[in-house]
Amino acid sequence: MATVTNTEYGYMVTGSATATTINAGTLRVKALAFAGDDATDTAALTTLNAGAAVSCYKFKALTDDDSSYQYAYFGENGVPMTGLAVTLSDTGNYLYVFVK
């Protein structure tokens, strides 16, 4: 299971290949940022729709470099995501969730 840390901007998640719920409620997500340490690393995010987990976003690292960040910006008002969960491909990955 990944480690989820509550921060001043939202959440920081450090890697695990197990699906981990970031927040069971509804968040207004302004942005997501992913950093993988290998070119094959991925992050797969899901939200709940009528109680079922559905894919909402996926990231893939571009290089074998910890500074290779991928991001998605949804605007200052954010988008609602309920039951947000993530599966990171390995323990060297980071996902940052910026909330309103």
Q: What is the pLDDT of residues 7-16, one digit of tens each?
A: 999 999 997 7
Domain count across the chain: 1
> Measuring CA to CA, which residue among 96, 91, 26, 25 is closest to residue 59?
96
- In a 3-state reduction of DSSP, which class is residue 41? coil
Confidence of residue 2 (pLDDT cuts 50, 70, 90): confident
Buried b (16+ CB within 10 A) or exposed e, 55-77: ebbebebeeeeeebebeeebeee
CB atoms within 10 A of CB 41: 23
Question: Which residues constitute the domain of residue 84?
Answer: 3-99
pLDDT at 66 > cutoff 70: no
Confidence of residue 67 (pLDDT cuts 50, 70, 90): low
